Amino acid sequence: MKIPRHWVREQRELCGVQCHLRGWSDDSMDAARQMLEERARLLQEFYAEPVTDERARRLRADLASLATAGQGEYAADMLEPVVRGLDAANIITRNRYGSLVLNSTDTCFADVDTVPQTLLQLLKSLFGAGAAPEQRLLATLRQVGVEHPELSMRLYRTAKGWRILFSGPGIELGSPLVDTLFTRLHVDPLYSALCRKQACWRARLTPKPWRLKLPRCPQPASSEEAAALQEDWVQQYNRACSGHAVCRLVESLGPRVQHGIVELHDQLTGVSLNADTLV
């Protein structure tokens, strides 16, 4: 999971160029700041001389090496405050617009925005005889269940589409089975790409603030200032979230999911509210 616990970001002018600097670490804020300063040094040296393709290539290589130094393939694309660590495979963060997000390496979530139709299905729908998108999606999941009876699946309705939870043998990050399921179910490609980059699956747990008519969430410059900076906004947000649901359960298929993460997901997303309006 490529979500660092310590991070810092800063905008700084280097040789007349406005640069967005970032540093991160799982170890300490000092290490995060050291990374930021080293990135600043590399950019300062780069812009101090005429830009060439070769120098740009070297800069990209140096920045990539710095980002993964001592961390294997680790390279953070998202810098989000960690709100709660659940276990080694699951943490809750607050995303850039203020919603809580579950990040998991052992429970697969998939977002589906559209359910493609065959030409025959499209023609039937024009005359009111075609199956609704949700029913087509359910039919596909039921077929998956026949082919993989060991899989646990839960289909949720969201404000703009659906969320599917998978658990069971073969459900692992980057596994052929997950890739096949994502392709077959037409999972949002942007979501799939984000999962690959961050090496985890993500599920939004709480409403999008603008759907509650709230102002923007304050953006911290570092992980250590996030709690204090966002405290008042979070209190207002939590009050506004009361009584609202992010998703509702449509159907559960396969064996019962034996994982507390599912119960936590359903609790925080308001599944039990069975709300007509989702946010």
From CA 110, how far away is CA 141, in angstroms rounded? 12
The CA distance from 267 to 273, in Å, is 9
The three-state secondary structure class of 40 is helix
DSSP one-letter code for 214: P
As given in the structure block, the two tokens for residue 251 are 């159907």
Decide if pLDDT at 71 tops 90: no
pLDDT digits (tens, 9 = 90+) for 159-185: 999 999 999 999 999 999 999 999 999
Q: 3-class SS at 22?
A: strand
Predicted local confidence at residue 257, as pLDDT: 84
Q: Is 20 left (phi over 0), alpha (psi -120 to 50) or beta?
A: beta
Q: Please give the pLDDT value at position 66.
A: 83
Distance CA 63, CA 68 (A): 9
What is the amino acid identity at position 264? L
pLDDT, position 14: 96
Question: Are the CB atoms for 183 and 176 separated by under 8 Å?
Answer: no
- pTM, two decimal places: 0.88
194: confidence class by pLDDT, cuts 50, 70, 90: confident
Residue 69 is predicted with a pLDDT of 60
Which residues make Cβ contacts (< 8 Å) with residue 43, sequence separation at least 6?
A: 14, 17, 19, 21, 59
Pair of tokens at residue 231: 């405290």
The structure tokens 């809580």 sit at 100
Q: Which two tokens stand for residue 97?
A: 């617009």
For residue 43, give Cα distances in angstroms to 14, 36, 197. 7, 11, 24
